[in-house]
Amino acid sequence: MTFIGNKSDLRVVGTRPVRPDGVDKVTGRAVYGADATMPGQIIGKVLRSPHPHAKIISIDTSKAEKLPGVKGVITSADIPNIPSEEAFVGEGPMNFRDLSLNCMARDKVLYEGHVVAAVAAINDAVADAALKLIDVKYEILPHVIDVEEAMAPGAPILHDNLFTAGVTPKPTTASNVAKQVRFTIGDVEAGFAQADVIVEQTYTTAPVHQAYIEPHACVAAIAADGQVLITASSQGHFMIRAYTAKLLGIEIANIRVTNAEIGGGFGGKTVVYLEPLAVALSKKSGRPVKMTMTREDVFRGTGPTSGGTIWVKVGATKDGKITAAQTVIKLQAGAFPGSPINPALMCAFAMYDLANVDTLGYDVVSNRPKVAAYRAPGAPISSFAAESAIDDLARKLGMDPIDLRLKNAAKQGSKTVYGVTHGVIGYEEVLNAAKAHPHWTAPLGKNQGRGVATGFWFNIGGESTGGVFINEDGTASVVTGSPDIGGSRASMAMMAAEVLGIPYEKVRAVIPDTASIGFTHVTGGSRVTYATGMAVTQAAQAVVEDLKKRAAMIWDISPEAVEWKDGEAVPAGANAGGFDPLPLAAIALKAAKTGGPIGSEISVNAQGAGPGFGAHICDIEVDPETGHSTILRYTAVQDVGRAIHPSYVEGQIQGGAVQGIGWALNEEYIYNKKGHMDNAGFLDYRIPVASDLPMIEAVLVEVPNTRHPFGVRGVGEVPIVPPMAAVRNAIRGAIDLEMFHLPMSPPRIRAAVDAAKAPKAAE
Amino acid sequence: MPTVVISGSSCRDFTHGESEFEVAATTFRQLIRELEQRFPGLGEHVEEYMAIAIDGVIYQDAYHAPLKPNSEIVLIPKIGAG
């Protein structure tokens, strides 16, 4: 893929045109999952377990089925009992049997909120009444939620057939530890022996939800001939198709999924909960079925990210050279295995050029909803601990925390703990930009502190399809298989406009259904502008070659004698002939005569996505009386490769930073002794709102990844990695208080303030 | 011949603890077949769950990824999407 992104040559890429979906979204015209309808549709609702861990003894649906207005009731008996099979489909490796059981329990419920049955009825009221008539007999089992308690001997075991992988000899006793993983380079013992200063600490993070504003919703219908139609919002309509096909045993060609607008996903909508159930209910009832979650459903029944315990040890010589780094991480996976333990281990110290690193991790099940991906899965958790430890190391050494990071910064040629040597990266550039920013040296007042932290994410490429088609009037349509969750329609149109040489306003990007465009992997992994952008750019380039051939035909000269410049065909030189430039619109007018429709659709499996690095500076004021923290100023610096549309890149950075701040200061699942979530709503699960925070200043550093035609690096995930440590380090600076457990909510800060005062009080 | 390193501990059960191998393969596809022959089950595991990093460039699901004798070749867990 040839790099064509020299900044001085670009006319569209790098500008800030209005987003194509803006008017629809601010006027209410946009169709989200809950807005979608099908003629004759009825309402589907689920019955959720009130118990965090129980055997299902029996389910009697007879009374519900007899209720007037009820058109169908399903249990696991209506869902194929598929065998265990793993594949890498949506967010990451997925066991299809686990996914099926997560959508609807079969013999056992594994968390409060686990679905046990579903009904389809003529309206909400009848559906609610029917759910109350379903009689489920449970044998309640002891439950376990906390990761350390789940690992302890004697803990209630969730799965009798789960044995810890990665342990030799192979265990014969079932465990809640699904796997143990280790990455090591060098010799940490020798490294620590060289250190003059060592910091060692244990941190905990709470599980948090992706907290998308839009709950899951879909409408689905299966016809008598087995053809399935689904409309849903998601991060991947091809993912919905694949999972629904697998879970229900339907051939993929018989399922067509239309993508609705999405109100946030952040990784949490790379998996299915409702769609297979809606199709099963449609089959039972003979009607289209619409299902929407409430906010409470979302909290009780969909995947948060893991909570975890992280032990970190870092050693350095007195001049600030880190000699060894070590971590042990235990992550909750929820009801089924699959926490992001690998990336947590791989990312913890990826920002540093270290010879001796040892990372050990555990994937642990417990009686909570199965985790789902959340922006850079695993990395924010491990980086919270690692970056807090680095800050503590800087304090002990008496060094500026950015200087300490610069002294040990990963650069081209640095080897990571997972054995890969970094190529061209922008970490030093990011650190230098942070250090040079006026925020870093702005004055602070009483009870105000400043923290810095950095982060890394790999970014991925993957399968994408993009098409560029020239319309009869010379405008262009861009079609891709990537749901737009962050402004990608604008970026796709901009890249196409740049290559075609026409104004952005003449290009319209849309996302057709799964039958109308080639396969495309999920919108996630910070991959769309990279991989789908690559497909769109290649398609636009193919169109340009075709346009040149058409111009040659019109002029009756050789195609080699035609060049494309600023949206027009021009003769390649004086010998080609004295023709006036031929605009794209003029060529389009003669498309039929010169060979037919002008367009190209390209599918790629994009490789070589470049990693991203970020550095965040946080100023905070802490009221020691109330424990309340106010973010005063926040600057997020990130290497973005090339910002196709800077506003949407800034938006991704701001959004990630805000989510990390919420994770740091307030968000957590609060469980009572019965294993029920006590704060299953936004009133008590407190995410930041606009009035809580100042404007997040996003600083874009551009070190292009030349494997992409415009130099793009993925940007969406890196910005959630640094904030927790940046906030924690700022609190330390504000009131000289070390915090080790998230969230650092007012009660926790108050308790820490009191604990810090206690010995003085005794004196 | 290219040398391949398997990162992390996830494959140790297949390889009896070994993590570095000289291989005759010149593509990722050939590597998978060679590993499957040497350590039954490993090739399948690598194909499904591992990416390959060649001189720092990560390839996922890419049979064609070229293995050269002097390259740094590392098998790492596949990266997911969030």
**Residue A162 confidence (pLDDT) above 50:** yes
Among candidates B5, B72, B80 on the partner chain, residue whose Cβ is nearest the Cβ of A92? B80
**Beta carbons of A267 and B82 less than 8 Å apart:** yes
Whether A521 and chain B come into contact, CB under 8 Å, resolves to: yes
pLDDT for res A756: 87
Q: A643-699: per-residue pLDDT in tens?
A: 999 999 999 999 999 999 999 999 999 999 999 999 999 999 999 999 999 999 999
pLDDT for res B16: 87
DSSP state of A727: H
Residue type for position A275: E
- Backbone dihedral angles phi then psi of residue A185, each to the nearest 5 degrees: -135, 150
CA distance B11 to chain A (A): 8
**Mean local confidence (pLDDT), A492-510:** 97
Is A185 exposed, middle or buried (CB count within 10 Å of its CB: 0-12, 13-18, 19+)? Answer: middle
Q: Could you tell me which chain B residue has the CA closest to the CA of A424?
A: B56
Counting residues of chain A whose pLDDT is more than 90, the rounded percentage is 95
Contact A599, A468 (CB under 8 A): yes
Contact A728, A722 (CB under 8 A): no
Among candidates A235, A343, A608 on the partner chain, residue whose Cβ is nearest the Cβ of B79? A343
**Residue A83 confidence (pLDDT) above 90:** yes
**Residue A759 confidence (pLDDT) above 70:** no
**Residue A313 confidence (pLDDT) above 60:** yes
Choose, out of B11, B19, B58, the residue to mutate when testing the contact with A (most A CBs < 10 Å): B58
Contact A693, A352 (CB under 8 A): no
Counting residues of chain A whose pLDDT is more than 70, the rounded percentage is 99
Name the A residues in 92-131 with CB < 8 Å from any B CB: 92-93
Choose, out of B7, B16, B27, B44, the residue to mutate when testing the contact with A (most A CBs < 10 Å): B7
- The CATH number for B18's domain is 3.10.20.30
**Residue A760 confidence (pLDDT) above 60:** no
Q: What is the pTM of this model?
A: 0.96
Q: A352-376: per-residue pLDDT in tens?
A: 999 999 999 999 999 999 999 999 9
Residues of B in contact with A521 (CB under 8 A): 81
pLDDT for res A328: 98
Q: Is residue B10 part of a domain?
A: yes
pLDDT for res A141: 98
Sequence length of chain A is: 763
Contact A33, A739 (CB under 8 A): no
**Beta carbons of B81 and A270 less than 8 Å apart:** yes
Sign of the torsion formed by the C-alpha atoms of A161, A167, A168 and A173 = negative
Q: A201-215: per-residue pLDDT in tens?
A: 999 999 999 999 999
Contact A514, A236 (CB under 8 A): no
Active-site hit among A112, A717, A738, A763:
A717
pLDDT for res B30: 95
Residue A79 CB-half CA count within 13 A: 33
Local confidence band at A762 (pLDDT 50, 70, 90 cut-offs)? very low
Q: A214-261: per-residue pLDDT in tens?
A: 999 999 999 999 999 999 999 999 999 999 999 999 999 999 999 999
Q: Is residue B26 part of a domain?
A: yes
- Backbone dihedral angles phi then psi of residue A148, each to the nearest 5 degrees: -65, -40
**Residue A280 confidence (pLDDT) above 50:** yes
| Region of poorest pLDDT, from A1-10, A104-113, A264-273, A595-604 | A1-10
pLDDT for res A542: 98
**Beta carbons of B8 and A420 less than 8 Å apart:** no
Contact A124, A45 (CB under 8 A): yes
Containing structural domain, residue B7 = 3-77
Is A231 strand, coil or helix? strand
Q: How is A104-135 classified by DSSP, letter by letter?
A: S-SSEE-STT-EEEEEEESSHHHHHHHHHH-E
**Mean local confidence (pLDDT), A514-524:** 97
Tokens coding A498: 């740049």
Q: Determine the Cα–Cα distance for residues A336 and A275; give it in Å rounded to an integer.
A: 20
CA distance B12 to chain A (A): 8
Residue A227 CB-half CA count within 13 A: 3
Q: Is residue B25 part of a domain?
A: yes
**Beta carbons of A421 and B56 less than 8 Å apart:** yes
Cα distances from A499 to residues A529, A599, A607, B12, in angstroms, run 15, 14, 21, 48
Residue ranges in chain B whose pLDDT is less than 50: none
Strand boundaries in A152-307, DSSP class E: 177-185, 197-205, 217-222, 228-232, 255-259, 289-292
Q: Residue A716 belongs to what H/E stretch?
A: none
**Residue A573 confidence (pLDDT) above 90:** no
Q: A102-160: per-residue pLDDT in tens?
A: 999 999 999 999 999 999 999 999 999 999 999 999 999 999 999 999 999 999 999 99
Tokens coding A602: 């390209």
Burial pattern A301-320, b for ≥16 Cβ within 10 A else e, equals: bbbbbbbbbbbbbbbbeeeb
pLDDT for res A574: 80
Q: Determine the Cα–Cα distance for residues A369 and A376; give it in Å rounded to an integer.
A: 19
Residues of B in contact with A91 (CB under 8 A): 80-82
Q: Is residue B82 part of a domain?
A: no
**Residue A315 confidence (pLDDT) above 70:** yes
Which residue is associated with the tokens 């922006």? A375
Local confidence band at A763 (pLDDT 50, 70, 90 cut-offs)? very low
Q: Determine the Cα–Cα distance for residues A294 and A302; give it in Å rounded to an integer.
A: 11
Q: Which residues contact A362 (CB under 8 A, 6 or more apart)?
A: A151, A177, A179, A180, A181, A329, A330, A331, A341
Local confidence band at A69 (pLDDT 50, 70, 90 cut-offs)? very high
**Mean local confidence (pLDDT), A562-566:** 96
**Residue A714 confidence (pLDDT) above 50:** yes
Domains recognised in chain A with CATH numbers: 461-606 (3.30.365.10)
Q: How is A741-762 classified by DSSP, letter by letter?
A: BS---HHHHHHHHHHHHHHHHH
pLDDT for res A9: 85
Local confidence band at A431 (pLDDT 50, 70, 90 cut-offs)? very high
**Residue A164 confidence (pLDDT) above 70:** yes
**Nearest to A124, CA basis, from A294, A328, A324:** A294
Q: Mean pLDDT over all residues of chain A?
A: 96
Domain count, chain B: 1
Q: Is residue B60 part of a domain?
A: yes
Q: Which residues contact A587 (CB under 8 A, 6 or more apart)?
A: A470, A474, A547, A550, A551, A554, A569, A594, A598
Tokens coding A20: 């194509």
A621 is catalytic: no
Q: Is residue B31 part of a domain?
A: yes
Q: How is A293-339 classified by DSSP, letter by letter?
A: --HHHHHHHS--PPPEEEEEEEEE-TTS-EEEEEEEEEEEEETSS--
Among candidates A235, A377, A605 on the partner chain, residue whose Cβ is nearest the Cβ of B62? A605
Name the A residues in 705-724 with CB < 8 Å from any B CB: 707, 717
**Mean local confidence (pLDDT), A586-592:** 97
**Residue A742 confidence (pLDDT) above 50:** yes
Q: How is A419-465 classified by DSSP, letter by letter?
A: SPBP-S--HHHHHHHHHHSGGGG----TTEEEEEEEEEE----EEEE
Q: Which residues contact A375 (CB under 8 A, 6 or more apart)?
A: A210, A266, A267, A656, A659, A716, A717, A720, B82
**Residue A449 confidence (pLDDT) above 90:** yes
Helices (H), A159-302: 188-194, 237-248, 275-285, 295-301
Q: Determine the Cα–Cα distance for residues A632 and A448; give it in Å rounded to an integer.
A: 9
Local confidence band at A287 (pLDDT 50, 70, 90 cut-offs)? very high
Q: Determine the Cα–Cα distance for residues B65 and A607; give it in Å rounded to an integer.
A: 9
